[in-house]
Chain A
Amino acid sequence: MKKWSLLLSATLLISALTACGANDENEAGASKSASPSASGSAAASESASPSADAQKPVKLKIYAQYSDDDTKLPYDYAVAELKKAMPNVEMELDIQAQDDGQKLKTYAAMGTLPDIFQANLDIINTFKNSNNILQLDEYVDKLGFKDKMYPSTMNTLVTEDGHSYAFPYAGNEVGLLFYNKEIFAANNVQEPKTYADLLAAVKTFKAAGVTPLSMFAKEKWPAVVLYDMFVTRTEPEGILKLDRGEAKASDPAYKQAAEQVVELVKAGLLPKGATSMNYDQAAALFREGKAAMFINGQWEIEDSTKALGDKLGYLYIPASDEAAYEAAKYNFSGGGGPSGYAVSSHAENKEVAAEVAAFLSEKYAEFKYTQRGTPIVATKVDLPVQKEFPPTMKQLSEDIPNMKTTAFAWGLGNAKFKAAIEDASQSLLTGAYSADRFASDVDKAIEQSK
């Protein structure tokens, strides 16, 4: 029996070692094939010219958002336009999962990245380190992509290292504090300009049985937007400075913002169960006139206009006094970062893939601008607008030239800080988490990521 136990143990060990050995080979293979993008560039220059490529049938795999009208319609439009411009290119869509980039990272680890994929700053940074993303500078110049962009959206194309890794379509989207004008008027509440006004407004709404602010804080990023809105009253770069390690959460501007959020929450700012409330529940409260204010990105305008019409507006964030309010009026939370359609450095047809990625980005933006009523796109659009901007969007488009933005949580480059600020900002909404603890937890994450 002892002999047989020995044999079984040996089998187990051998199978484990065999698997280990196979992995080493895989890793070696991966590091061989994952040589820097220089090899990609070389391969690109060795390959046939674009005109010759244009004749060959090419099948490209793309990993992109395709879940609702806001993502399906622009994608379908862009692909239909591609069919006209590059009939030899066939696109195979792999629908992007809402999973913090896990599926894409798994593809990268397995060496099966799609030719084109949607990338945000986190993906760009991670894939840059592991040589999975193609540096697109050469194609940006060749395709004249910079000339097609608004000067104000250049931050969405170029990363901190001065290179481009994705062709952007979205401009600097912003987080807004929407409000229902009718509820404000019914409760004799003026648009608050100072923090004291806002606090008084919250108390008035609470006393009248109206939810002051509806938030889908089960998702953590809206909590970050709320906190960042108060930071931007005194620090225009908001959480971006923390992300870059240029400021601390214990600095006065940042700590005061946390204290203000806690004070407002304790005064009854949020409905019960806000941190377990999803988008549908929170949006319903606002659209049905049960909540006076609502936080979301500007993409909310279309749906809320349908529900509320002219009653919908957005507030400039109150500051310590009226002078500070006027000075910081156009400091918005949110904003864009380097993101868009990126190309895998392992793509077989890099040149065609880069060309297609740029084309899709441009057309995606074109559809959003002309038919989805959003002026916030990265590239210039010459076509006439087919769908008029709603009034709130008109106000926003007038604000865009003066606007200073920060970043949404998903646009932060420091993943450790991102996770910490998301958790800490959501904790602030419970009212049982102090500003001091917030500062200490966030500072610890900033320190660790240095």
Chain B
Amino acid sequence: MNKYLGNKTAILLFILPALLLYSVVVFYPMLQVFFRSLFDWDGLTPGTFIGLGNYTRLFDDSLFHTSVYNGIVFALVITVAQIAIGTVLAFAVAEAGVRGRKFVRISVFIPVVLSITVVCQLWMAMYNPEYGLINRVFELLGISYRQDWISGSKTAIYALAAVNAWQYMGYHFALLLAAVKSVPEHYMEAARIDGASKFKAHLRITIPLMAETYKFCLIFAITGGLNAFANMYIMTGGGPGTSSYTLTYMMYRSAFRVGEYGYGSASAAFLVIECLIVTLLINRFIARQRIVY
């Protein structure tokens, strides 16, 4: 291994293609977003430099406040649901005595590989206030809690977050299951010999040892939530009105519906900074040191 790491030319050669691709596809467009956010620009003409004008307008825009709020709600709902339920399922499936483990493992992961359009259509049918499955279940149970799920201005964002949480839970579940399985058995055996219950042993030993996986899951879930777009684009069109807008949707509206690419870039730039801060905070506070078993 040291032989390869000592060969600097080989390192450069292997890194260069990915680095070039990253520069052209990610880094350069991101620079452009920040640069263009300083312009009053319609995407076609050269644009007029307005400094921080777009940002001043952004912070004064009620749509921006709604979008940021919705992004946070969406991120919180999917993070809690995906990681909490994913953890429970991962522990259950890792347990040798649990029946139907294979079935759970496959069925929880299936939604991840489905097209998001298919998933949204499926949930739109389930959310239908007249004949949708969810309201029907409430009706069958004799509960009068029947909602206009995605057409209600207060419920829409939660309903959309639930769809995303359901679809990508399998991804987190797979990561967490791999992490559970990679914790050496003898830690658990030692804890059990010392008289710890299974629950306590998992809580005190397995979960702390999975911190690096949790860190990755948290970053993935929170930034994924803040970036949410497809669910609202397909299911509500940001509506009713603007009640399910997120920053990404606001960027889409500003750039492609209104033709204000500069303003759209400002909301995209804010989103990049928001995600960066979240990532830095998670890196700062969770699994700061590399865990070696």
CB within 8 Å of B: which residues of A? 4, 7-8, 11-12, 15-16, 19-20, 27, 31, 99-100, 102, 105, 108-109, 122, 126-127, 129-130, 132, 217-220, 271-276, 415-416, 418-419, 423-424, 426-427, 429-430, 432-433, 441, 448
Across-interface contacts of A416 in B (CB, < 8 A): 258, 260
Given known A8-B15, A102-B256, A415-B258, contact A273–B46 (CB-CB < 8 A): no
B43 close to A (CB within 8 Å): yes
Secondary structure class of chain B's binding surface, majority of residues: loop
Asked if B148 and A273 make an inter-chain contact with CB atoms under 8 angstroms apart, the answer reads: yes
B124 close to A (CB within 8 Å): yes
Of A132, A274, A415, the contact of B44 (CB 8 Å cutoff): A132
CB neighbors of A among B11-38 (8 A):
11-12, 15-16, 19-20, 23-24, 27-28, 31
Given known A130-B45, A423-B241, A430-B240, contact A15–B20 (CB-CB < 8 A): yes
Asked if A424 and B241 make an inter-chain contact with CB atoms under 8 angstroms apart, the answer reads: yes
Across-interface contacts of A427 in B (CB, < 8 A): 153, 239-243
Asked if B241 and A426 make an inter-chain contact with CB atoms under 8 angstroms apart, the answer reads: yes
Given known A129-B42, A430-B241, contact A415–B12 (CB-CB < 8 A): no
Across-interface contacts of B240 in A (CB, < 8 A): 217, 275-276, 426-427, 429-430
Across-interface contacts of B12 in A (CB, < 8 A): 4, 7-8
Asked if A419 and B258 make an inter-chain contact with CB atoms under 8 angstroms apart, the answer reads: yes
Asked if B27 and A16 make an inter-chain contact with CB atoms under 8 angstroms apart, the answer reads: yes
Secondary structure class of chain A's binding surface, majority of residues: helix
Across-interface contacts of A132 in B (CB, < 8 A): 44
Tell me the complex Cα distance, A275–B235, Å: 10
Asked if A19 and B16 make an inter-chain contact with CB atoms under 8 angstroms apart, the answer reads: no
Given known A415-B259, A430-B240, contact A105–B128 (CB-CB < 8 A): no
Task: Report the number of A-B residue pairs with Cβ-Cβ less than 8 Å.
Answer: 122
B262 close to A (CB within 8 Å): no
CB within 8 Å of A: which residues of B? 8, 11-12, 15-16, 19-20, 23-24, 27-28, 31, 42-46, 57, 62, 124, 127-130, 148-154, 235-243, 253, 256-260
Asked if A11 and B128 make an inter-chain contact with CB atoms under 8 angstroms apart, the answer reads: no
Across-interface contacts of B24 in A (CB, < 8 A): 15, 19
Enumerate the 6 nearest inter-chain pairs by beta-carbon distance, A residue then B residue, closest first.
A427-B241, A130-B44, A272-B129, A275-B240, A15-B23, A273-B129
A344 to chain B, nearest CB (A): 13
Given known A15-B24, A423-B241, A430-B240, contact A109–B257 (CB-CB < 8 A): no
Q: Could you give 23 example pairs across A and B, Cβ below 8 Å?
A: A4-B12, A8-B12, A11-B19, A15-B23, A15-B28, A20-B31, A100-B256, A102-B256, A105-B256, A130-B44, A218-B237, A273-B129, A275-B151, A275-B239, A276-B151, A276-B235, A416-B260, A419-B253, A419-B257, A423-B241, A424-B241, A427-B243, A430-B152
Given A15-B28, A426-B239: 16 more A-B contacts, CB < 8 Å: A4-B12, A8-B19, A108-B44, A127-B44, A217-B240, A219-B237, A274-B151, A275-B239, A276-B236, A415-B258, A415-B259, A416-B258, A416-B260, A427-B153, A427-B243, A448-B57
Across-interface contacts of B28 in A (CB, < 8 A): 15-16, 19-20
Given known A427-B241, A430-B240, contact A273–B11 (CB-CB < 8 A): no
Across-interface contacts of A274 in B (CB, < 8 A): 151
Across-interface contacts of B257 in A (CB, < 8 A): 100, 415, 418-419
Across-interface contacts of A15 in B (CB, < 8 A): 19-20, 23-24, 28
Tell me the complex Cα distance, A19–B28, Å: 7
Tell me the complex Cα distance, A275–B241, Å: 9
Tell me the complex Cα distance, A126–B261, Å: 12
Across-interface contacts of B19 in A (CB, < 8 A): 8, 11-12, 15
Across-interface contacts of A415 in B (CB, < 8 A): 257-259
Asked if A129 and B124 make an inter-chain contact with CB atoms under 8 angstroms apart, the answer reads: no
Across-interface contacts of A102 in B (CB, < 8 A): 256
Across-interface contacts of A126 in B (CB, < 8 A): 42, 44, 259
Given known A272-B130, A272-B148, A273-B129, contact A220–B237 (CB-CB < 8 A): yes
Tell me the complex Cα distance, A132–B243, Å: 36
Question: For residue B9, which residue of chain A has the nearest CB?
Answer: A4
Question: For residue A99, which residue of chain B has the nearest CB?
Answer: B256
Asked if B23 and A12 make an inter-chain contact with CB atoms under 8 angstroms apart, the answer reads: yes
Across-interface contacts of A16 in B (CB, < 8 A): 23, 27-28, 31
Across-interface contacts of A12 in B (CB, < 8 A): 19, 23, 27
Asked if B153 and A433 make an inter-chain contact with CB atoms under 8 angstroms apart, the answer reads: yes
Given known A15-B23, A16-B31, A430-B240, contact A129–B258 (CB-CB < 8 A): no
Tell me the complex Cα distance, A130–B243, Å: 34
Across-interface contacts of B153 in A (CB, < 8 A): 427, 430, 432-433
Across-interface contacts of B44 in A (CB, < 8 A): 105, 108-109, 126-127, 129-130, 132
Tell me the complex Cα distance, A108–B42, Å: 12
Across-interface contacts of B16 in A (CB, < 8 A): 11
Across-interface contacts of A275 in B (CB, < 8 A): 151, 236, 239-240
Across-interface contacts of B43 in A (CB, < 8 A): 105, 109
Interface centre among B130, B243, B259 (most CB of A within 10 A): B259
Across-interface contacts of B152 in A (CB, < 8 A): 430, 432
Across-interface contacts of A217 in B (CB, < 8 A): 240
Across-interface contacts of A432 in B (CB, < 8 A): 152-154
Interface centre among A31, A419, A441 (most CB of B within 10 A): A419
Tell me the complex Cα distance, A290–B122, Å: 24
Across-interface contacts of A441 in B (CB, < 8 A): 62
B71 to chain A, nearest CB (A): 18
A368 to chain B, nearest CB (A): 28
